[in-house]
């Protein structure tokens, strides 16, 4: 077996058990009886089941974490708005800046872009005719 996967290991285990039960149920190979092999060969399958269970639990915990993060983000935004709206602090205070926000006095002013005048129809030259 070059590549060990759940399917191939499980299939090989089933094949060994079936053949051993059919052709030599009372014979011991390499000091291992059929019952011992059956018990020992369950270990990798049990570990894979435990891993699948842990993966399922991890996915649930990840969803729980994402919901907690979203809730915390909403709370942080609510607090930031409360700081901005508080007359003792406002959106131009040191506290507001220390929280990672840009105070009002440090914000760049929005610039109005110049609108280009529409070209005059009389000054636009028509495209040259294709001399073919």
Q: What is the pLDDT of residues 30-84, one digit of tens each?
A: 999 999 999 999 998 899 899 999 999 999 999 999 999 999 999 999 999 999 9
Q: What pTM was computed for the model?
A: 0.53
Instruction: Tell me, yes or no, whether 28 lies in a domain.
Output: no
Instruction: Tell me, yes or no, whether 94 lies in a domain.
Output: yes
Instruction: Tell me, yes or no, whether 76 lies in a domain.
Output: yes
Closest residue by Cα to residue 25 from 34, 14, 12: 34
Q: What is the pLDDT of residues 67-126, one digit of tens each?
A: 999 999 999 999 999 999 999 999 888 998 999 888 888 888 877 777 776 666 566 666
Number of domains in the chain: 1
- The C-alpha atoms of residue 24 and residue 67 are separated, in whole angstroms, by 57
Instruction: Tell me, yes or no, whether 38 lies in a domain.
Output: no
Instruction: Tell me, yes or no, whether 52 lies in a domain.
Output: no
Instruction: Tell me, yes or no, whether 130 lies in a domain.
Output: no
The SS3 of residue 72 is: helix
């Amino acid at each position: 077996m070059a590549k060990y996967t759940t399917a191939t290991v499980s299939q090989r285990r089933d094949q060994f058990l079936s053949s051993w039960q059919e052709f030599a149920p009372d014979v011991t190979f390499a000091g291992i009886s059929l019952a011992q092999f059956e018990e020992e060969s369950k270990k990798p399958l049990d570990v894979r089941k435990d891993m699948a269970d842990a993966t399922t639990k991890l996915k649930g915990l990840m969803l729980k974490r994402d919901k907690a993060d979203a809730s915390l983000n909403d709370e942080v935004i609510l607090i930031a708005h409360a700081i901005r709206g508080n007359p003792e602090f406002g959106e131009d205070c040191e506290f507001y800046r220390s929280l990672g926000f840009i105070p009002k006095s440090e914000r760049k002013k929005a610039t109005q872009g110049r609108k280009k005048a529409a070209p005059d129809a009389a000054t636009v030259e028509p495209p040259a005719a294709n001399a073919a």
